[in-house]
Amino acid sequence: MNYSYVIVDDNQESVLETKAVADGFSELTFLASANNYEEGLNIILEHNPQLVFLEIDPADKKSNLSLVLINELYRYLKVVPKIIVTTKKKDLAFDAIQYEVADYIIKPVSRVHLIKTILKLEKSSAVEESVTVLPQLAIEPPIVPVVQQETTAQKEPLILCIKSYGDYRYIDTRDIAYFQADNNSTDIHLNNGEMITAFKTLKHFEGVLSYPFVRIHNSYIVNSHCISRIHTGNSVCYIKNTAIKLPFSKSYKGNIDLIIAEISSGNYLEI
């Protein structure tokens, strides 16, 4: 999933450092930056970013940067961007949590910090998409607890339907190993070796699918759960139970780092 972002920080050097790290991630798109409260509010309202990197303890107190900026956003926006606090102090973390910020990063912002932040955002987005909102909930509470409904939805696999002239082909996305671009169509390769062609671009699938499907190359989206090996030196990853090797490009190296980090965050032992 791609995220647009702005940086609001009184220190221009910190702005450039944060942007330099974020530039290494193809899923992050820079829109603008500001050095004080008023400019920060203006660029957020103008550009409507999905993420805001916000300094809340500025060296220049005249910049008026603080968590209060978040309150101001609620006055104007129906959907407030995800706020990622970037600061040098740890003791403001509790206050930031009260404002429900998406993440709290101690400066200087590093690549590992952003990998973890993006993974949190992806996981949060996946949970939100799995929840079914019932219109009558406010009037008539459902018999089944909401928590139980969320759990059931999360367990259900995503079914991909390839429709062509009245022919509906249903594919359990867990059975998909990878997608391969073929001009204006896309070849869907299954774990059993079968290949199905969909008349949609790879860009289309990148936009509608979330983790574990990750874009690693201009020509490939891979199911991270089907990867058995990643060789960063040769810039290739291997598909489980096959001899298939998929290349990944430098422009998508950040996505490969995300896959490695996600795998290592589970039931994992490194030797």
Least confident of 15-24, 32-41, 162-171: 162-171
The arrangement of strands across the sheet holding 28-34 comes to: 28-34, 3-8, 51-54, 82-87, 103-106
pLDDT at 253: 87
- Quick count: other Cβ atoms within 10 Å of Cβ 62? 9
Q: Is the pLDDT of residue 260 over 70?
A: yes
Q: What is the DSSP string of 156-217?
A: SPPEEEEEETTEEEEEEGGGEEEEEEETTEEEEEETTS-EEEESS-HHHHHHH--TTEEEEE
For 55-75, what is the mean pLDDT? 92
For 38-49, what is the mean pLDDT? 95
Q: Is the pLDDT of residue 2 over 50?
A: yes
pLDDT at 150: 43
Domains in the chain with CATH codes: 3-127 (3.40.50.2300), 152-264 (2.40.50.1020)
Contact between residue 54 and residue 14 where contact means Cβ atoms under 8 Å apart: no
Packing angle of the helix pair 12-22, 111-130 (nearest 10 deg)? 70
For 201-225, what is the mean pLDDT? 91
pLDDT at 134: 45
pLDDT at 139: 45
Looking at every residue in the chain, the average pLDDT score rounds to 87
Least confident of 11-20, 146-155, 195-204: 146-155
Q: Is the pLDDT of residue 151 over 80?
A: no
For 15-24, what is the mean pLDDT? 93
pLDDT digits (tens, 9 = 90+) for 165-209: 888 999 999 999 999 999 889 999 999 999 999 999 999 998 888
Cα–Cα distances in Å, from 181 out to 205, 215, 255? 10, 11, 18
Least confident of 31-40, 50-59, 63-72, 158-167: 158-167
pLDDT at 127: 59
pLDDT at 130: 53
pLDDT at 148: 47
Closest C-alpha to 221, from 243, 252, 184, 254: 252
For 52-60, what is the mean pLDDT? 95
Least confident of 84-93, 97-106, 155-164, 241-250: 155-164
pLDDT at 266: 77
pLDDT digits (tens, 9 = 90+) for 78-117: 899 999 999 998 888 888 888 889 999 999 999 999 998 9
Rg over CA atoms, the chain: 21
